[in-house]
Amino acid sequence: MIGKRRRMQRILKNGRSVILPMDHGITQPEKGIEKVDRVVEVVQEYVDAIIVHKGVAKRSEVIAEMDAGLIIHLSGSTMWAEDPNDKRLVTTVEKAISLGADGVSMHVNIGSKTEADQIEKLGYVSEVCDWYSIPLLAMMYPRGDIEVNTETVKHAARIGYELGADIIKVPYTLKFEKVTAICDLPVVIAGGSKGSEYELYKKVEDAMSRGAAGVAVGRNIFNSSHPAKVAKALHMIVHNNLSAEDVIEYEGNMVVG
């Protein structure tokens, strides 16, 4: 699939990627992405791809011109739903292609009450993606009554692999080498809730040392008062093999937008 390989190269550079998800607005409004274009303008030099919903992409004035890859998110739910873990398809692969997407993404909650429906849709969408030669990033999360640990994250990653995803996004866990060993696909870690920058950098450094292909960090970038600095730091860890300590030491001298 030459088309899929070419599009994958827009998302992963030499097999590694810093991805900026900004698909959070359906779940709940998030500080920092009221105007997505403002974020893209300052971080696009340091991220390899962004994830947004179709409405954001079609109204953006900068996405069409950015060098970073574009991933359209296909699923969503709101914080007000009876079951917020019930992710529903809200658009199609064909619509994403019409918007110029380099890839699409889906969120699947393993262990949720609607797990069966979500994995059924993941399996179907992966076949549509193969037909159009467009990469599929599967966001695989243990949820509901399932504890998030190495074994459950490993299982979630394997489900995405089995059902045809091209890139897997999962929560970070200790012994992450067991997660990356379970599927020969690029596996990126989720950034999670906003926390300290040092803790984020250490988490990314550890995951990379254990076989991760990169990160998909949203709130820790766009919630930050200096998103470009955080994005550049992550880029240095992922693409230049710097440690968290190296980045913290260097950050004081960073010149970023």
250 is catalytic: no
184 is catalytic: no
Instruction: Say how far apart CA 178 and CA 149 lie, in whole Å.
Output: 11
Say how far residue 140 (Cα) sits from the centre of its chain: 10
**Active-site hit among 169, 203, 229, 232:** 169
**Active-site hit among 48, 87, 141, 201:** 141
Instruction: Say how far apart CA 167 and CA 46 lie, in whole Å.
Output: 20
Contacts of 250 (CB under 8 A, 6+ apart): 236, 242
Contacts of 9 (CB under 8 A, 6+ apart): none
Say how far residue 243 (Cα) sits from the centre of its chain: 21
31 is catalytic: no
H-only helix segments in 133-256: 150-162, 177-180, 197-209, 219-222, 227-240, 244-251
CB 235 within 8 Å of CB 18: yes
Q: Would you name the residues annotated as active-site residues? A: 23, 141, 169
